[in-house]
Structure 1
Amino acid sequence: MIFGYTEAQISGFFLTYGVGAFMLFMLFIIGQLAWQSKAGKFGALVIFLGLGLGMLGFAAKFVIQWWLER
């Protein structure tokens, strides 16, 4: 036990909230890339779709898990 929590509790917390915070930071980075490259509206959409598609899959995993466990 670390600080009164088990290893499973700590890893579950950081897998949910830590990776979620990292995903928000990645959205900021993708936005910066689109802005600095002067991609325009369509180019920014393509950048967000291309780089953000993996994040959508990660979020869908939590929704599917919630749906199957209820």
Structure 2
Amino acid sequence: MLNMTLAEFESWSLTLGLGGLMFYMFFIIYDLAKQSNAGKYGYIALFLVLGLGMAGFIFKLVITEMMDL
């Protein structure tokens, strides 16, 4: 049986839940580019602009973890 504290469970749930949502957002961006016939530069622009917010969240998480060490 798993002996997990509530804080550990919340941490894992947050990480997995946000990871799943980010994967789904990338799928939505891909589908949007595909349906609009964006072309190569359109794909790059959509992923760069819309994906930058998710990348910022990931970078913030990495930086805060590095500062805690």
TM bracket (short chain)? 0.7 to 0.9
**Unpaired runs of at least 5, structure 1:** none
For the residue of structure 1 that corresponds to 2:10, the secondary structure is helix
RMSD, aligned α-carbons: 1.6
Structure 1 segment 9-28 matched on structure 2, within 5 A: 9-28=8-27
Aligned length in residues: 68
> Match of 1:16, as an amino acid?
T
TM-score normalised over the length of structure 2:
0.83
> Offset at 1:55?
0.3
Q: For the residues of structure 2 that align with 1:8 and 1:25, how far apart are their CA atoms?
A: 26
Pairing 1:34–2:33 present: yes
Tell me the equivalent position of 2:53: 54
Partner of 1:45: 44
Structure 2: runs of 5+ lacking an equivalent: none
Q: Name the % identity.
A: 46
- TM-score (normalizing by structure 1): 0.82
- For residues 27 and 21 of structure 2, the distance between their equivalents in structure 1, rounded to whole angstroms, comes to 10
Q: Secondary structure at the match of 1:38?
A: coil
Amino acid in structure 1 at the alignment position of 2:36? S
Offset at residue 7 of structure 1 (A): 3.7
